[in-house]
Amino acid sequence: MTLNDVRKKYIDFFASKQHAIIPSSRLVPENDSTTLFTGSGMQPMIAYLLGQKHPEGSRLADSQKCLRVQDIDDIGDNRHTTFFEMLGNWSLGDYFKEQQIPWMFDFLTKELELDPNRIYVTIFAGNDEIGIPKDTESGRIWKNEFQSVGITADIVDDCETNGMQGGRIFSYGEKKNWWSRAGIPENMPVGEPGGPDTEMFWDFGSPLASTRRTGGLNDNELPEPIHAASVYANQPCHVNCDCGRFMEIGNNVFMQYIKTEQGFIELPQRNVDFGGGLERLTAAANDTQDIFTIDIFAPMIAILEKISGKKYADANIQYFRVIIDHIRAVTFLIGDGVVPDKKDQGYFARRLIRRAVRFGRFLEIEKPFLSQLAISVIQSYSNAYSNLLERQEIILSEILKEENKFSKTLRTGLLKFDQIFQNRDDVNGEQAFDLYATYGFPIELIIEEAQRQGKTVDTAGFQKEFDANMKKHQDLSRTASSGKFKGGLADHSDMSVKYHTATHLLHKALKTVLGDHVQQKGSNITPERLRFDFSHPEKMTPEEIKQTENLVNEQIQKDMTVTREEMSVAQAKEKGALGLFEHKYGDTVSIYTMGDFSCEICGGPHVEHTGVLGKFKITKEESASAGVRRIKAVLENLSFRT
């Protein structure tokens, strides 16, 4: 069964259950400052999970493009990828557990024809401290489903300590069976929705013959495969252990709570949010423990084998997986408008390309080769994602440009190496780290070059320097992420909603002052300020900045009513609504209009009239990336209207 087969079966199944099929959102989230990338299917759905009406109704399904850069160090094992597709279906205050669980059982056992004897599930164990009970209802429904096909399904509560004990349904705490974008309940900010979940696992029957070491293939360690059966021999096996016997293939989240200052309360509506990894479901349908052996990756493996002269086998398998994963991810990123850069989303696009180049070197590939793999990705996905074919020239150009740039960096690093160490026989940790940090020269290549010249490298000293600097970087990243999460639009705070509304006025004002070529390229909104990225080839003049600022304030002072309408995409175009029409929308879209000034497609929350926004002030105008400018602005003196 191919990946495209599984996607189609899923979409057709839920279409038959009266679900509207909606298109995938972009990998760069709109109106969400909590994260750089769309990392889950529910992320674009937050406003609707919180109660806003979706223009397509209360039953929805899709296949959402996702990117999780936090998994980058796990790439190289049999199941993790940075980019993946998440099959999703939602009930927005419509059906709940009694329908969702039987539907998923039918989809897995009848549509994908998975053997129910090899399906195991988990439920939420409950948490008395936060007042959320054990999910006995899901346990009961699953038990009935298994019994309907003649399978006894006992519920086990302590499998992490005592193993599976012949059970079929297992309860876990919030680290495993609670879902929110922030993770466990104690990490959730006020205003964030979440809920208990019930997950589905496929049993491959035995541990992996080999698996990764803890930490995967990070930037500075190339671990050899280890034998999982021996490593986990003395540990209790259960569906969430790491031996590789079980693979999670789907997760029903019952999004029914929201965190408040006083604790958790029920949302106005009970929601269902299912997420199933398309690649993992395809692997289960083909009963392969290695998701990189499903059909979608086969052309890339063949190309890489031809280029390198090596086979996808134990000695090379992790290198192949890293390269294939990274190029698929960066192809989709550039397809969605992200180009390699030094910051934000562009930084990760650049990092993915550079890691792929480096792992290609481990396969003894010296010439540019990544574009050949990108062409394979585009061809394999073009029917489902036509924007890849439309942007093929840009994708290939950006990949080649960054690949050549990094190859030059490597050459520069070699020259610097020779300059520093021509009269020395050893490379100490501090010097090695300086080569890595300043010149982008990877430690593996430092070691390789040192060995070639008969020198030694203090790898322990390098690791000490690396760990110290990584800790500093992680602390800064955590602080930044915390700040973003605290003030994200998803909290629907009063100020976040005001800043979001102000971006509409800013967008139209920029088009008026600078020209129709201006298009929104992204936004980041907190209760303290707005950040707005837009296409424009040059720095704005002080006069243009002032004109833009004045134009926005004129609209605020008019105290215009903000109205919302639902219409077709064709009607929205005819009405002159601003929107990214090269991307797919559903059949019906929401249009927000402010007087005769602003008319824009949007799904986020807005104020009722512009007068409450106060005074708009641009605090900074700067470059965001090539051809993209960035404005930061604040709202002051919130006194025009109340």
The answer to whether residue 273 scores a pLDDT higher than 60 is yes
Give tens-digit pLDDT for 117-144. Answer: 999 999 999 999 999 999 999 999 999 9
CA 172: distance to chain centroid? Answer: 25
The answer to whether residue 252 scores a pLDDT higher than 60 is yes
How far apart are alpha carbons 246 and 206 in whole angstroms?
8
pLDDT (mean) for 636-641:
58
Claim to verify: residue 454 and residue 499 sit in the same structural domain: no
Three-point CA angle 66, 71, 73, nearest 5°: 145
Three-point CA angle 372, 81, 119, nearest 5°: 130
Q: What is the pLDDT of residue 473?
A: 52
Helix axes 344-362, 317-335, angle to 10 degrees: 150
Range in 162-176, 221-235, 573-587 with the lowest mean pLDDT: 221-235
Claim to verify: residue 327 and residue 202 sit in the same structural domain: no
Q: What is the pLDDT of residue 41?
A: 82
pLDDT (mean) for 198-214:
75
On average, the pLDDT of the chain sits at: 86
The answer to the question of whether 19 is labelled as a binding residue is no
Claim to verify: residue 333 and residue 464 sit in the same structural domain: yes
pLDDT (mean) for 513-538:
88
Claim to verify: residue 401 and residue 268 sit in the same structural domain: no
How far apart are alpha carbons 336 and 339 in whole angstroms?
9
Q: What is the pLDDT of residue 223?
A: 42
Range of the domain at 630: 493-636
E strands of 14-154, at which residues?
Answer: 20-21, 59-67, 83-92, 119-124
The answer to whether residue 212 scores a pLDDT higher than 60 is no
Give tens-digit pLDDT for 369-386. Answer: 999 999 999 999 999 999
User: Could you tell me the pLDDT band of residue 234, with boundaries at 50, 70 and 90?
Assistant: confident
Range in 88-92, 264-268, 341-345, 443-447 with the lowest mean pLDDT: 443-447
Query: At which of 243, 260, 292 does a domain end?
Result: 292
| Percent of residues, the chain, with pLDDT higher than 70 | 89
pLDDT (mean) for 508-526:
89
The answer to whether residue 231 scores a pLDDT higher than 60 is no
Q: What is the pLDDT of residue 479?
A: 54
Claim to verify: residue 500 and residue 480 sit in the same structural domain: no
The answer to whether residue 445 scores a pLDDT higher than 90 is no
Tell me the C-alpha to C-alpha distance, in Å, between residue 641 and each of 43, 181, 395, 599, 617: 33, 35, 48, 22, 17
Give tens-digit pLDDT for 37-72. Answer: 888 888 888 888 888 888 899 999 999 999 998 778
Claim to verify: residue 420 and residue 517 sit in the same structural domain: no
Amino acid at 374: A
The answer to the question of whether 238 is labelled as a binding residue is no
Residues contacting residue 24 through CB under 8 Å, at least 6 positions apart = 62, 63, 64, 65, 85, 385, 584
- Please report whether residue 273 resides in a domain: yes
- The tokens describing 202, both together, are 């496929």
Claim to verify: residue 592 and residue 462 sit in the same structural domain: no
Q: What is the pLDDT of residue 555?
A: 94
Give tens-digit pLDDT for 286-327. Answer: 999 999 999 999 999 999 999 999 999 877 899 999 999 999
User: Could you tell me the pLDDT band of residue 74, with boundaries at 50, 70 and 90?
Assistant: confident
Query: Do strands 615-625 and 628-636 pair parallel, antiparallel, or not at all (unpaired)?
Result: antiparallel
How far apart are alpha carbons 14 and 543 in whole angstroms?
54
Range in 284-298, 417-431, 628-642 with the lowest mean pLDDT: 628-642
Claim to verify: residue 169 and residue 52 sit in the same structural domain: yes
Q: Maximum distance among all alpha carbons in the chain?
A: 77
pLDDT (mean) for 344-351:
87
Closest CA to 508 of 484, 532, 487: 532
The answer to whether residue 33 scores a pLDDT higher than 90 is no
| Chain position carrying tokens 């919302």 | 564
- The tokens describing 47, both together, are 């406003």
CA 55: distance to chain centroid? Answer: 24
- Please report whether residue 301 resides in a domain: no
Range in 457-471, 502-516, 555-569 with the lowest mean pLDDT: 457-471
Residues in the chain: 642
Tell me the C-alpha to C-alpha distance, in Å, between residue 305 and each of 285, 297, 301: 26, 12, 6
pLDDT (mean) for 349-354:
90
Range in 86-90, 146-150, 350-354 with the lowest mean pLDDT: 350-354
Q: What is the pLDDT of residue 404?
A: 94
User: Could you tell me the pLDDT band of residue 34, with boundaries at 50, 70 and 90?
Assistant: low
Coil/strand/helix, residue 267: strand
Claim to verify: residue 202 and residue 322 sit in the same structural domain: no
Give tens-digit pLDDT for 566-591. Answer: 888 888 888 888 876 545 556 678 88
How far apart are alpha carbons 94 and 58 in whole angstroms?
6
Q: What is the pLDDT of residue 597?
A: 93
pLDDT (mean) for 465-477:
65
Query: At which of 240, 265, 292 does a domain end?
Result: 292
- Please report whether residue 642 resides in a domain: no
Tally of structural domains, the chain: 3
Claim to verify: residue 373 and residue 451 sit in the same structural domain: yes
The answer to the question of whether 54 is labelled as a binding residue is no
- Please report whether residue 297 resides in a domain: no
Q: What is the pLDDT of residue 232?
A: 59
The answer to the question of whether 500 is labelled as a binding residue is yes
User: Could you tell me the pLDDT band of residue 475, with boundaries at 50, 70 and 90?
Assistant: low
User: Could you tell me the pLDDT band of residue 344, with boundaries at 50, 70 and 90?
Assistant: confident
Range in 114-123, 509-518, 585-594 with the lowest mean pLDDT: 585-594
Claim to verify: residue 115 and residue 132 sit in the same structural domain: yes
Q: What is the pLDDT of residue 485?
A: 34
Query: At which of 459, 484, 509 does a domain end?
Result: 484
Q: What is the pLDDT of residue 477?
A: 44
| Percent of residues, the chain, with pLDDT higher than 90 | 54
> What CATH number is given to the structural domain containing 630?
3.30.980.10
- Please report whether residue 81 resides in a domain: yes
Q: What is the pLDDT of residue 427?
A: 83
How far apart are alpha carbons 217 and 324 in whole angstroms?
14
CA 109: distance to chain centroid? Answer: 28
Coil/strand/helix, residue 591: strand
Q: What is the pLDDT of residue 140?
A: 97
How far apart are alpha carbons 438 and 461 in whole angstroms?
17
Q: What is the pLDDT of residue 209?
A: 57
Q: What is the pLDDT of residue 220?
A: 43
Coil/strand/helix, residue 391: coil
- Please report whether residue 111 resides in a domain: yes
- Please report whether residue 383 resides in a domain: yes
How far apart are alpha carbons 232 and 247 in whole angstroms?
16
b (16+ CB within 10 A) / e for 405-433: ebbebbeebbeebeeebeeeeebebebbb
Range in 29-38, 478-487, 561-570, 597-606 with the lowest mean pLDDT: 478-487
- Please report whether residue 303 resides in a domain: no
Claim to verify: residue 130 and residue 277 sit in the same structural domain: yes
> What CATH number is given to the structural domain containing 253?
3.30.930.10
Residue 546 near residue 628, CB atoms below 8 Å: no
